Structure formats: C-alpha cells, structure tokens
C-alpha cells in the first residue's frame, strides 16, 4: 500500500508552552494543554529512526488532538544521529527529559497537569525510547539513563515501535539506523545492546499496548508480533493503516489509538499479564 506521509508536513497548532531540560539546542520540550482543568500527562517521543533530519514537529497534530480530549501532552526533543546524538547522548537526553518534564511542565502551567505518573507514548524509534524509558531501573548499573528506582510511569503506548534493536541492525533497516545509533552492531557492542534494546530487557512492569499496522513498510510488524508474544504484551493491529497513519488524528484508525491511550490513562487500566 502507498504510504501516507501527509502528517510530516501538515500545519498544526503551535505548543502552548516550551520548556528546557538542558542547555543544548535540542534539549527542549513542547507542551500542549487541555482547554480547562488539569490533564493526565502524556509524554510523546517522536521517531525518525533516531536521525537528526526528523524532529518532534510531526507529532504536533497528535498532541493538539489529545489536548483537545483533556490530556496534557509533552513532546521532548533530543539529540539524534548526525548531529551529536547516538550512543550515549540520545539515551542521556531522553532520560533527562522523561525525568524533568513533569515538574517543568507543571511549573510552566500551574493547575493544568495532573500530578502523578505520566503515560509514555512513542512512535517508531520513539516507541523504542518509550519502552526503554519505562525500564531504566532494570538497566545495568552505570548504563546511560539508569535509575535506581522505577520511573513514575503509568503505562506505555508504542505506535509502530522499534522493539528489537539487534534485529533492526541485522536487517539494516533504514540503511543502518541502528548501526548509527549504537556505533555498531550487537557483536561489536553487546553491553550497549544489553542496556538499550527492549528485546534484551525484561517485559515492561506497567500496562503496555503496542499498536502497529500490518502494512507498515518501515518497521516490520513481524518484529512487534515477536516481541509482544515473548513479553506477553497486548498488540493492536490496524488493518489498512501504515507507519504514519498510526499517529494521524485524521486517519480512520485514530479512534483505536485513542481507545488504547484511554485504557492506559485510567488508574489500573488496561493491565495485562506479562512475562520476562
């Protein structure tokens, strides 16, 4: 099927606030707020196979739509390959953004962000980072982004996620995107992959839903099916969708994405059994 890339260039409402979690140009977070009251925080991580030529901008339509539904949505930027990112900078940036965003956004918009754990959402490579971010307390000691305690996350929503870094490298997806991110393959850097690959880490310890289209031509759904099966996670397959329509509020499949998020945002919602 033809890929619909309209979401990458579609005009969208600008963020309500922008906060900074570091001093470097890419260490910023855009925030969209509910029209009234406080909203459940969703931290949405963008994809682009970790490359610098794709930034958080294409998630603006998603963020604005969810803010209209009562969520507070934060879209962090982070250093990507080709301009200072890769191992370990991409991981240390994302870890810092995940830790700092709830407090920064609440301070910038008093009364507009519900206290308590956030939902981590991510598209494509951002889905990889969302899964990884929820497991930072399970990383080897000393690994980039490691936490001594579990991060304050309510659930994880992965949208066309890269779930298996090693297989992404072996398949040479996006002309070696995993090679650029990790500085080589798992044979050369087994310790890096052990600290960065969701497929090498335990199952998420919070409710997790993976949403993927069988027609995805960028991240093969077979990798998500395999990961979800081995980890006992819920997988929602969107027939007729593609890699980008899973983050497109104008797409017919969007209500199913919202439904998955709604389940995760409820306290105790959408909890499914998982195995390490």
Q: Is residue 275 part of a domain?
A: no
By CB atoms closer than 10 A (0-12, 13-18, 19+), residue 160 is buried
pLDDT digits (tens, 9 = 90+) for 132-142: 999 999 999 99
| Rounded-to-integer distance, Cα 186 and Cα 68, Å | 42
Q: Mean pLDDT over residues 57-84, rounded?
A: 97
154 part of a folded domain:
yes
Q: Tell me what the pLDDT averaged over the chain comes to.
A: 94
Say what the pLDDT of residue 2 is.
Answer: 62
The number of domains in the chain is: 1
pLDDT in tens, 145-192: 999 999 999 999 999 999 999 999 999 999 999 999 999 999 999 999
> Could you tell me if 78 and 94 are in contact, meaning their C-beta atoms sit under 8 angstroms apart?
yes
List the CATH number of the domain containing 55.
Answer: 3.40.50.1820
- pLDDT confidence band for 266 (50 / 70 / 90): confident
Backbone angles phi, psi at 197, to 5 degrees: -100, 115
Q: What is the mean pLDDT of residues 248-265?
A: 96
Supply the range of the domain harboring residue 67.
Answer: 6-265
Domain assignment present for residue 273? The answer is: no
Burial 223-260 (b: 16+ CB within 10 A, else e): bbbebbeebebbbbbbeebbbbbbbbbebebbebbeeb
162 in a structural domain: yes
Q: How large is the average pLDDT for residues 218-240?
A: 97
Quickly state the pLDDT bin for 267 (edges 50, 70, 90). low
Sign of CA dihedral 268, 224, 129, 201: positive
Digit-coded pLDDT (tens) for 26-56: 999 999 999 999 999 999 999 999 999 999 9
* Residue 276 within a domain: no
């Amino acid at each position: 099927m033809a890929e619909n890339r309209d979401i990458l260039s579609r005009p969208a409402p600008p963020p309500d606030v922008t906060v900074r979690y570091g001093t470097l140009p890419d260490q910023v977070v855009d925030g969209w707020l509910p029209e009234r009251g406080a909203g459940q925080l969703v931290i949405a991580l963008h994809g682009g196979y970790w490359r610098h030529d794709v930034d958080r901008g294409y998630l603006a339509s998603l963020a604005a739509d969810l803010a209209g539904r009562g969520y507070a949505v934060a879209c962090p930027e982070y250093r990507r390959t080709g301009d200072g990112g890769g191992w370990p900078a991409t991981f240390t940036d994302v870890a810092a953004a995940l830790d700092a965003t709830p407090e920064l956004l609440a301070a910038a918009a008093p009364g507009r962000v519900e206290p308590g754990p956030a939902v981590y959402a991510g598209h494509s490579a951002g889905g990889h980072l969302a899964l990884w971010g929820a497991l930072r307390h399970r990383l080897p000691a000393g690994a980039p982004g490691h936490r001594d305690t579990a991060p304050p996350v309510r659930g994880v929503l992965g949208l066309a996620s890269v779930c298996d870094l090693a297989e992404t490298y072996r398949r040479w997806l996006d002309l070696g995107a995993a090679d650029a991110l990790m500085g080589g393959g798992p044979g050369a850097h087994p310790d890096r992959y052990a600290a960065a690959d969701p497929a090498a880490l335990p199952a998420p310890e919070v409710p997790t839903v993976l949403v993927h289209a069988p027609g995805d031509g960028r991240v093969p759904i077979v990798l998500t099916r395999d990961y979800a099966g081995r980890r006992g996670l819920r997988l929602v397959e969107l027939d007729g969708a593609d890699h980008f329509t899973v983050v497109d509020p104008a797409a017919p499949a969007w209500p199913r994405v919202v439904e998955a998020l709604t389940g995760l945002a409820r306290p105790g919602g959408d909890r499914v059994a998982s195995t390490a």
